[in-house]
Structure 1
Amino acid sequence: MASATGPSIADLARRPRIAGVGTACPRETYTQREILDAFDISDQRVRSVFMNSAIERRGLLLPPRRSDGSRATESQGDLLRKHVTNGLSMGREAVESCLREAGRSLADVRYLCCVSSTGFITPGFSALLIKELGMDRHCARIDVVGMGCNAGLNGLTAVAGWSEAHPGELALMVCIETCSAAYVFDGTMRSAVVNSLFGDGAAAVAVVRPAQAPENTGGPAKGTSGPALLRFASCIIPEAVDAMRYDWDDDLARFSFYLDPEVPYVVGAHVGLALDNLLTGTGLLRSDISHWVVHSGGKKVIDSVRLNLGLARHDVRNTTKVLRDYGNLSSGSFLFSYQQLMAEGCVRPGEFGVLMTMGPGSTIELALVGW
């Protein structure tokens, strides 16, 4: 239960709330061993990275097969087309699922935020999805591009701000990440770490600030049964700005990811500071947080967050499950974990939760939510 000095029920009723979440992944899924075998990878160092990742299966669009059964080499153009085509397909499915859960329709959407870091296109996914879905041409939009795995909360900050200023109107955020459109198969350990971790997926979240809370209850209005978005906080780690990168490789003539082996420890060393900043002035203590929705950044990242915050394995069970079943889905990962939490039916009125993502910058993003 919440601390007696925490945000009031009346404050919860006035804030933008999550009205629904929807997710989507490719139909093609692979175990780690199947991916290794698909590319005839025999290097035991690489195989060890894959097999000790705590990932069992991921949705991926692998390169097409040649006539001899081997996988083709995709150009940067091929990868970009994959980013757009698969992204629109997954994005549409996630949006439609989200709106069904929220009891809304496409005609209700007044603001669309699209988040992605696995390809660069102009116009962005927001314009393409508005056309693809036949949404209102007057729908306001924004694209959050190139911010990496933390970007889902950066986008949600913008969505919550818009919702705050437009009571009763529906805003939508869609995280679209075709991580297989950013893969490089060059046999190096740098690429192996990335290729062992990320999966393709999209996640959409609907947000609305109730126009008026029900009288005498202070509870959420109909169609806004999710938690209130109470506060956001960021923690930038400039000295680790190069720890996570997606940049151009002249030798390979394509973009590629880089993850520094020290990333889990950098995140862990700063996560307590970031959380304290989020809770400062709220009257809440760490012990008042009942639910933790953490980005599935990888086994070492999850363990580092858990140990540095003193969390039990049970606290990050949904994050661990998402990593196991989907891999790291970049910006939308935390919404997959949130969906798992809500499916458990364990949340009670008066409880608080923390949403947490981390990524390039290096950055830790957090949101405080309340039911």
Structure 2
Amino acid sequence: MSITMSAPGADVLDPENDSRKNRAAARITGIGTAVSDHSYSQAELLDLCSITDARVRSVFLNSAIERRFLSLPPLAADGTLLTETQGELLDKHKRIALDMGARAVRAALDKVGLDIEDIDYLCCTTTTGFLTPGISAHLIREMGIPARTSRIDVVGMGCNAGLNALNATAGWAVANPGKVAVMLCTEACSAAYVIDGSMRTAVVNSLFGDGAAAIVLVADPSDTAYAPAAVPASPGGPRILGFASHLITEAIGAMRYDWDDEHGKFSFYLDPQVPYVVGANAEQVVDRLLDNAGLRRSDISHWLVHSGGKKVIDAVRVNLGLTRYDVRHTTGVLRDYGNLSSGSFLFSYERLLAEEVAQAGDYGVLMTMGPGSTIETALVQW
């Protein structure tokens, strides 16, 4: 049986017998990114946080991260960082996430010559703060996006959420061919920190940075999901062919964002075994994604993996048999920005586009991982 991918959400499609073969596929047509105002080296952050513990300093300095964008608390009279209450952190999240998000959306639209008025659907994802109404409503009001715009907020899913949101956004685009869908990941990680000298917080505080990424999706009715690889892709980026997910239920508490009574605020926790758990499960979800399309790993030209941390990237790379060159964008984003949570993989995608190496017919795999513990994947084709 000949197998290929249909529209998002479908697993297997026989193009000879399935009338859905002419259904449009959503295409990523533009991308924009933004960060907060100030960046710091790891050594600068250690000094600003007055961290002298040799073990904690080692976590920071051996993270494969050179700089991160953060919005730190004001300094007290003695030069130490002031402690922010949970209310102050939520205010910070709203301010930074909206500012970065608006700039990323505008940049993505500018790349493809669209205006704010052209947006028909807006999907926003964030984990680093909570708002009701969500980011999408605030952006519509503050940016002047048409009030008729359909919207959805994906909140609390963590670093994997960008692909969960992409699945929903691509599905909407396919159901509304020719209309403009925008997906935004905006993570103010500066609003999700507990600053103390413990090893638990050191792992988190050494890793995350502020960042937002937005992409524009459109499904053209004439752009079918079933097309030979030799057919040149129209300008505008890759088609989204399908998704595959895997929830590692036995590791549901390995990555979590929950309430810390001692500090009176939410606190993120990362189990030291996370890289190995993710790595051990990477093969089965990627192979399922590719099997559904009749592909092998050797057919994939571009790998865009979430910049979850040095050990996570290495574990995924080794278990999937990838080269360091395959994950060059991932390691580059980690080096220059740290872990940007849900939007990290889009920063890598932007770097891939800047290289201008993707050719018509090339396949790519997008991969994110986060709380659950969850691995999300998507297959795209230029």
How high is the sequence identity, in percent, across the aligned residues? 60
Per the TM alignment, residue 220 of structure 1 is displaced from its structure 2 partner at its CA by 4.8
Q: Separation in 2 of the partners of 1:40 and 1:167?
A: 54
1:306 aligned partner: 317
Q: Does 1:281 align with 2:282?
A: no
Structure 1 partner of 2:76: 66
Q: TM-score, normalised by structure 1?
A: 0.95
Q: Could you tell me how far apart the structure 1 residues matched to 2:82 and 2:189 are?
A: 17
Q: Is the 8 A contact 1:16 1:209 kept in 2?
A: yes
Of the three residues 193, 205, 208, the one matched with 2:215 is 205
Give secondary structure in 1 for the equivalent of 2:245. strand
Aligned-partner Cα distance in 2 for 1:272–1:244: 20
Instruction: Assess, with a 3 A threshold, how the Cα gap between structure 1 residues 320 and 22 changes in structure 2: closer, same or farther.
Output: same
Quick check: 2:140–2:147 contact (8 Å CA) kept in 1?
Answer: yes
Does the alignment pair 1:194 with 2:194? no
1:131-210 aligned at under 5 Å gives the runs 131-210=141-220
Contact 2:25 2:223 in 1 (8 A): no
Distance in 1 between residues matched to 2:363 and 2:74, nearest whole Å: 46
The corresponding residue for 1:231 is 242
CA contact (8 A) 2:232 2:360 kept: no
What is the rounded CA distance, in whole Å, between the counterparts of 1:281 and 1:235 in structure 2? 15
For the aligned residue pairs, the C-alpha RMSD in angstroms reads 1.8
Unaligned runs of 5+ in 2: 7-14, 16-20, 225-229
For 2:196, give the aligned amino acid: D
Q: Spell out structure 1 runs of 4+ moving beyond 4 A.
A: 4-8, 10-13, 217-221
Q: Secondary structure at 1:78's aligned position in 2?
A: helix
Structure 2 residue aligned with 1:251, among 243, 248, 262?
A: 262
**Deviation string, structure 1 residues 98-154 (Cα, Å, up to 9, x no partner):** 101122111111000000000111000000000010011010000000000000000
Given candidates 280, 283, 294, the residue that maps to 1:272 is 283
Give the aligned partner of residue 240 of structure 1.
251
Contact 1:31 1:58 in 2 (8 A): yes
Which secondary structure state, in structure 2, belongs to the residue aligned with residue 276 of structure 1? helix
Q: In structure 2, what is the equivalent of residue 316 of structure 1?
A: 327
TM value normalised by structure 2 = 0.92
Taking the aligned partners of 1:287 and 1:300, their CA distance within structure 2 comes to 24
Q: Does 1:366 align with 2:377?
A: yes
Pick aligned residue for 1:84 from 94, 97, 105: 94
Do the aligned residues in 2 keep the contact of 1:12 with 1:230 (CA within 8 Å)?
no
Residue type at the aligned position of 2:184? V
| Contact residue 246 and residue 256 of structure 1 kept, 8 A | yes
1:290 to 301, 312, 322: 301
C-alpha deviation, 1:69, in angstroms: 2.3
| Distance in 2 (alpha carbons) for counterparts of 1:211 and 1:106 | 23
Which ranges of structure 1 fall in alignment gaps of 5 or more residues? none
**Match of residue 111 from structure 1:** 121
Question: Match of 1:38?
Answer: 48
Kindly indicate whether residue 341 of structure 2 is the aligned counterpart of residue 330 of structure 1.
yes
Q: Name the aligned partner's letter for residue 110 of structure 1.
A: D
Residue 43 (structure 1) shift: 0.5
Q: Give 2:132's aligned residue.
A: 122
Give the total of aligned pairs: 363
Counterpart of 2:195 in 1: which secondary structure? coil
- Structure 2 distance, partners of 1:242, 1:258, is 9
Higher mean C-alpha displacement, 303-312 vs 101-110? 101-110
Give the secondary-structure state (helix, strand or coil) at the position aligned to 1:212. Answer: strand
| Structure 1 residue 12 displacement after superposition | 9.7
